[in-house]
A and B are shown apart, each in its own frame.
Chain A
């Protein structure tokens, strides 16, 4: 017996798995997270006690929250901008024809391919005061008198984690921009040269405008990812020393799994979500306005 399915019904059937996944994996956890943020809930307890906005009030009155928010902005802002600058420079370099370019293109992807745990172990060893290569070189060169505690001094900890964040994630910018660079029509450059444009003019008036759309997406994605990034900072410093690298995702973990306060953890996560939506809305609007000009 042949079962005939109408095209309309087939469409619904085909959408159904995605819909179930969307509700199950996105809407439900999101809704539950928002719901929990209005309750006092011990991680190990099944009991929920409704406390209204108390978690949010606690957060807004807590200087640790504002400090963590500032660190998150600093972390996301500095890593994304540095990734874009370095990524663009390396992409332009890898776009030039020279011997060994294919190998260089492969090698540049390495940091992005290495698992984060390995990256963190490598950098922790490099930063070590006892046997780290960075301190060793600086001592050898006579630039410092004694080893620097890169990750355990509040002054250097944020810079040190930003450096790891830059190294680990800039290849994403490279591969995305490189793909776009390869489809810029060469006759644009040729015409510019005929008109007497310098290399800088060509870069500024052809390359950058051509990269504009892809840079928009790259900045958007990387900002979301870096703002929500947990593993790099957690594994390198755990948010310390003295909360010098405490970002909002690490604070969520601290509240939920160290203080066992799920409600407070959820309220931070909800605020992060709201903040990202606000930032992205502003970003989209600004971009559209500039595009209209």
Chain B
């Protein structure tokens, strides 16, 4: 104050002003560089998650506060990312040596394995034991094991379903589609381009959702991306059949589906612009929050099939990076996996993911929205049972540590864009994707 007063009264000479400013500036810089000096600093844990609907963010914050209350001196801070950006953000953080302490819901076992094999993540077996190994479905734990070691703990699993408009189907005398032929018929009959209404939403944006939806079709036709020895097996008659079907169905999708990721596919249905969409359980809460009148008019069934009903199995998981805060991060994971905390997180978007702990299976279904819609709840609860992880395309496949390159480089979305937007022959685009996958994975070691 005195300095300022002197300054304004012009009683400070230039030399003194510079000296005092340097002292203040230096002090501030030192405080920034050494934040713990001179004050009791709380340990700050960073948690990155793409599970970031506003209601989910609220639940995360409540969990952080409850944890801080039980662990004075430890603070957890959430960083909320988009699905398509989360692994890129994590990779960038790892590259500069400042990974987040915790990651929740990346749903990318291939990416986590890439980190785990390089020694960046904490082995979680002891944490699973502390939480209660017997309470977990063993298949859920297995999906997050790499080389027999537990790299993450899943708290929810999910499989996509086909959401459809019961009222429009009834009006046109249609039944929910079971096969691809049924679906094409339904899509054709419900599409009205002039009214801006579409029978299907087949995304072909350069997004992870496109990757997953194309994969669902390839698997349904009986194809694989890799064989049991993890050689690229993309170029096959089954893949070509699947991509031809995908291209044909895109005709009944919104014209800008070439930019669609997750949200856009849900939005198309929830905004009343499409008769069907592939999506996970999150659509239910989107309907309740944004279009409640559509809730009784909506239903969901397993994805239509060619040969098999087989879709992508995804998980919301939690894993810990090796940082100076590892012990506190482990404590947070144990805290989070307490029954009431997991339930709170699952209930905030009811139906989106189902519990991986047996003790929550029944309680989970007691959410009012799930009770009001028993058919939807049943379809969503059953979806993971016929789904497989993209890192394990069949029971005969080993854990696929090569899939990370295919997913990261968006080879499958690029392939389908070549077919739909670039009008390339299916065979040529599939062959291109196959060769690209071979090139990208040839040097990847287990």
**Quick check: A146 and B118 within 8 Å, CB to CB?**
no
Once A44-B91, A241-B421, A242-B421 are accepted as A-B contacts, the answer to whether A149 and B255 lie under 8 Å apart by CB is yes
Q: In the complex, which of the residues A44, A131, A260 has the most CB atoms of chain B within 10 Å of its own CB atom?
A: A44
Once A242-B422, A258-B410 are accepted as A-B contacts, the answer to whether A152 and B271 lie under 8 Å apart by CB is no
Once A130-B268, A152-B205, A242-B418 are accepted as A-B contacts, the answer to whether A258 and B88 lie under 8 Å apart by CB is yes
**Quick check: A241 and B206 within 8 Å, CB to CB?**
yes
With beta carbons under 8 angstroms apart, the residue of A44, A148, A153 that contacts B115 is A44
How many residues belonging to A are interface residues under a CB distance threshold of 8 Å? 31
Does any Cβ of B come within 8 Å of A147's Cβ? yes
**Quick check: A152 and B421 within 8 Å, CB to CB?**
yes
B90 to A, closest residue via Cβ: A44
How many residues belonging to B are interface residues under a CB distance threshold of 8 Å? 36
In Å, the complex CA distance between A149 and B267 comes to: 16
Instruction: Give the shortest distance, in Å, between B290 (CB) and chain A (any CB).
Output: 13
With beta carbons under 8 angstroms apart, the residue of B15, B88, B120, B414 that contacts A257 is B88
With beta carbons under 8 angstroms apart, the residue of A146, A153, A154 that contacts B193 is A146
Once A44-B94, A237-B259, A258-B408 are accepted as A-B contacts, the answer to whether A130 and B421 lie under 8 Å apart by CB is no
A152 to B, closest residue via Cβ: B258
Residues of B within 8 A of A242 (CB): 414, 417-418, 421-422
With beta carbons under 8 angstroms apart, the residue of A127, A146, A154, A258 that contacts B421 is A154
**Quick check: B258 and A260 within 8 Å, CB to CB?**
no
In Å, the complex CA distance between A115 and B52 comes to: 21
With beta carbons under 8 angstroms apart, the residue of A14, A44, A146, A259 that contacts B255 is A146
A236 to B, closest residue via Cβ: B259
How would you classify the secondary structure of chain A's contact residues: helix, strand, loop or mixed?
A: loop
Instruction: Give the shortest distance, in Å, between B91 (CB) and chain A (any CB).
Output: 5
Does any Cβ of A come within 8 Å of B24's Cβ? no
A238 to B, closest residue via Cβ: B206
**Quick check: A151 and B259 within 8 Å, CB to CB?**
yes
**Quick check: B258 and A153 within 8 Å, CB to CB?**
yes
Instruction: Give the shortest distance, in Å, between A159 (CB) and chain B (any CB).
Output: 15
Does any Cβ of B come within 8 Å of A150's Cβ? yes
In Å, the complex CA distance between A239 and B414 comes to: 12
Does any Cβ of A come within 8 Å of B95's Cβ? yes
**Quick check: B114 and A241 within 8 Å, CB to CB?**
no
Once A149-B259, A260-B91 are accepted as A-B contacts, the answer to whether A44 and B421 lie under 8 Å apart by CB is no
In Å, the complex CA distance between A31 and B255 comes to: 46
Tell me which residues from 228 to 269 in chain A have a Cβ below 8 Å from any Cβ of chain B.
237-242, 257-260, 262
Does any Cβ of B come within 8 Å of A43's Cβ? yes
Does any Cβ of B come within 8 Å of A192's Cβ? no
Does any Cβ of A come within 8 Å of B237's Cβ? no
Q: Scoring A residues 120 to 151 as 1 if CB is less than 8 Å from chain B, else 0, what string do you get?
A: 00000001111100000000000001111111
Instruction: Give the shortest distance, in Å, between A119 (CB) and chain B (any CB).
Output: 17
Does any Cβ of A come within 8 Å of B231's Cβ? no
In Å, the complex CA distance between A14 and B15 comes to: 11
Residues of B within 8 A of A151 (CB): 256, 259
**Quick check: A240 and B206 within 8 Å, CB to CB?**
yes
Q: In the complex, which of the residues A10, A128, A240 has the most CB atoms of chain B within 10 Å of its own CB atom?
A: A240
Residues of B within 8 A of A128 (CB): 256
Does any Cβ of A come within 8 Å of B5's Cβ? no
**Quick check: A14 and B259 within 8 Å, CB to CB?**
no
Does any Cβ of A come within 8 Å of B294's Cβ? no
With beta carbons under 8 angstroms apart, the residue of B94, B408, B418 that contacts A259 is B408
B88 to A, closest residue via Cβ: A257
**Quick check: A129 and B255 within 8 Å, CB to CB?**
yes
B interface list, Cβ under 8 A from A: 15, 18, 88, 91-92, 94-95, 114-115, 118, 120, 193-194, 196, 205-206, 254-259, 267-268, 271, 273, 405, 408-410, 414, 417-418, 421-422, 440
A interface list, Cβ under 8 A from B: 10, 14, 43-45, 127-131, 145-154, 237-242, 257-260, 262
**Given A130-B268, A131-B273; 10 other pairs, CB 8 A cutoff:** A43-B91, A44-B94, A127-B256, A131-B271, A146-B255, A147-B255, A240-B259, A242-B422, A259-B405, A259-B409
